[in-house]
Amino acid sequence: MSASERPPTGSRLVGVLGGMGPRATVDFYDKLVAHTPADTDQEHLRVVIWADPSVPSRQAAILADGTDPSPWLQEGIDRLVTAGAELIVMPCNTAHAFVEGLVPEGVQFLSIVQVTVNAVAARPAGPVGLLATDAALAADLFQSSLHALGRQVLIPPPAAQARLTSLITQVKAGTADRSTEEQLREIIAELDARGATVTIAGCTEISVLLGNTPHDLPHDLVDPARELALATVAHALRPAPISGAVTP
Catalytic residue annotation: 92, 203
Q: Which of these segments, 138-146, 171-179, 217-225, 239-247, binds a copy of itself (CB under 8 A)?
A: 171-179
Please report whether residue 45 would count as binding a copy of itself according to CB under 8 A.
yes
- SS3 string, 19-75, reads ECEHHHHHHHHHHHHHCCCCCCHHHCCCEEEEECCCCCCHHHHHHCCCCCCHHHHHH
Sequence length of the chain is: 248
Question: Binding-site residue total for a copy of itself (CB under 8 A)?
Answer: 43
Please report whether residue 29 would count as binding a copy of itself according to CB under 8 A.
yes
CA distances from 134 to 41, 59, 90, 110, 143 (A): 40, 7, 19, 23, 13
Instruction: Using the minimum distance from each CB to a copy of itself, give the nearer residue, 79 or 163.
Output: 79
Please report whether residue 34 would count as binding a copy of itself according to CB under 8 A.
yes
Least distance to a copy of itself, CB of residue 214, Å: 19
Please report whether residue 104 would count as binding a copy of itself according to CB under 8 A.
no
Least distance to a copy of itself, CB of residue 6, Å: 12
Determine which residue in the list 46, 147, 194, 238 makes contact with a copy of itself, applying CB under 8 A. Answer: 46
Q: CA triplet 129, 135, 140: central angle to 5 degrees?
A: 60
Strands (E), 121-177: 128-131, 153-154
Instruction: Using the minimum distance from each CB to a copy of itself, give the nearer residue, 21 or 156.
Output: 21
